Amino acid sequence: MEMLSTSPKFITGVHMPRGRRLRMVSPLARSISNLISRAIKPPPTKICGSDGGPPVTANRVRLSDGRHLAYHESGVNKADAKYKIVFSHGFVGSRFDSLRASPEVIEELGVYMVGFDRAGYGESDPNPNRDVRTAALDVEELADSLGLGPKFYLVGFSIGNSAVWGALKYIPERLAGAVLMAPVINYRWPGFPPELASETYNKQDMGDQWALRVAYYAPSILHWWMEQSWLPTSTVIKGTTTLPNKLDEEIRRSRMADGSGQKRVNQATQQGKYESFYREMKVMFGKWDFDPMDLPEPPFPVHLFQGDEDGLVPVTLQRYIADKLSWIKYHELPSTGHYLSSVPGLGDKVLRTVFGNPSSE
């Protein structure tokens, strides 16, 4: 037994030179690393107009970096317009989204509006360098390409307001006014009191908490995380978020029943969920280069419309922003949820509030 216990055959592993052990481990480590890299790598993007990609059916402008933005115009003729608006759509949105104001009010006020597929959505090319700043610069280039003049109005809905905050930061000289409608917030903006941000963050579904946590701390694995059925993921994408407002719930139920909701998703994500939904989450809920609550007062009016029964954006945080930025004209809508463009008459009210002849609050 003593001879066996001291035999080189049994003690080789103990005295193997360190360099040799590392040479044996390195291939295994590389193999594991390669497996992980392949697992978290998003699938190839299906660029509109490319071989195997969706067709291009929309009007598009070419940007300075070679990308294209798809757009849709509505309202009065651009040459005759008194007010020109760029509309930045929400999460499951497109160039066809708008304020849904009545034709009579649009004609009366002389409003031209252009909606566009934001980068990676619909028929607009993805931007691998997309962030809050590039979102604002896309708006500026679109306006210049369409000849909207030195100043224009910018309206954002929901998560599309990252472009509005970005414009207030990076291109304020180009704006005549701005409207934020139910703007999505980032719980990690430094301006929020930690206890308030933590309280509202923890009221979310566990899947939403984890999705936002991954988007902030580990954005490189977000696509992989969101595609795993066994992990807690976003209820917004799954369509299972609790909606306390009756109209919001009716709209969601109707879209699920008639298939229009899935059609909107398919249109928004036709180039890939990574380039639309997941890159959107990384921009909105990742690290920002500035805190919106540090923005100086701009030389034009900024309005914020928020429903007090919004199940997607905490009204308490919106109130804090409006209180911190006293120059924001805050409009809290009673018994109203998140889908503001579907609220009867609200589009008309927004236009009259911003451009004159406001109806009674």
pTM score, whole prediction: 0.89
Residues 229 and 250: their CA atoms lie apart, in Å, by 27
Of the candidates 284, 278, 58, 63, the residue with the CA atom closest to the CA atom of residue 164: 284
Residue 24, pLDDT > 90, answer: no
Q: Tens of pLDDT along 58-94?
A: 999 999 999 999 999 999 999 999 999 999 999 999 9
The mean per-residue pLDDT over the stretch 237-254 comes to: 96
How much of the chain exceeds pLDDT 70, in percent? Answer: 88
C-alpha R_g of the chain: 25
Which residues does 242 contact at the CB level (< 8 Å), separation at least 6? 205, 235, 311
Q: Hey, what are 123's tokens?
A: 């028929």
Nearest to 328 by CA among 296, 358, 355, 359: 296
* Phi, psi at 115, each rounded to 5°: -100, 155
Query: Of 28-42, 253-267, 280-294, 300-314, which gets the smallest average pLDDT?
Result: 28-42
CA 9 to CA 25: how far, in whole Å?
Answer: 20
Query: Letter for the amino acid at 216?
Result: Y
**Residue type (1 letter), 253:** R
Q: What is the Cα–Cα distance from 169 to 154, expressed in whole angstroms? A: 13
Q: Under a CB-based contact definition with an 8 Å cutoff, are residues 335 and 308 in contact?
A: yes
Cβ-contact 84, 148 below 8 angstroms: yes
